[in-house]
């Protein structure tokens, strides 16, 4: 799900892509780690390969996502050395 957007959320200007992922770590105060599972087709071998990517995201206090939540994340300006994404909504609460 790649969408383009150019709005403002929680004081941060949202630009670029919108993605979905699952929160796998939310121990830090305003930071979470979101994992995305993807599949890629390897044309040379005629097979599909699974891969995953982990993205460090800003977890606003207004949302406060927990481990296991399915979230929507959006690209924003650089917030720190590793964070340039922010959580904009929780799609489904985890267990």
Alpha-carbon distance 4 to 24, whole Å? 25
Distances (CA, A) of 20 to 8, 27, 47: 18, 20, 24
Distances (CA, A) of 65 to 39, 44, 48, 73: 25, 40, 31, 11
Structure tokens at 59: 């977890």
Q: What is the CATH number of the domain that holds 73?
A: 2.40.50.1000
Place of tokens 């927990």: 66
Structure tokens at 38: 């993807």
In tens, the pLDDT along 50-94 reads: 999 999 999 999 999 999 999 999 999 999 999 999 999 999 998
Number of domains in the chain: 1
CB contact at 8 A, 57 and 34: yes
Which domain range does residue 35 map to? Answer: 3-92
Predicted model pTM: 0.85
């Amino acid at each position: 799900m790649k969408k383009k957007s150019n709005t403002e959320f929680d004081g941060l200007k949202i630009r670029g892509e919108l993605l979905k992922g699952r929160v796998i770590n939310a121990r830090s105060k305003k930071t979470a780690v979101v994992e995305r599972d993807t599949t890629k087709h390897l044309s040379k071998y005629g097979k599909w390969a699974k891969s995953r990517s982990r993205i460090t995201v800003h977890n606003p206090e207004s949302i406060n996502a927990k481990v296991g939540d399915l979230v929507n994340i959006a690209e924003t300006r650089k917030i720190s050395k590793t964070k340039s994404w922010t959580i904009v909504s929780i799609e489904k609460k985890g267990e």
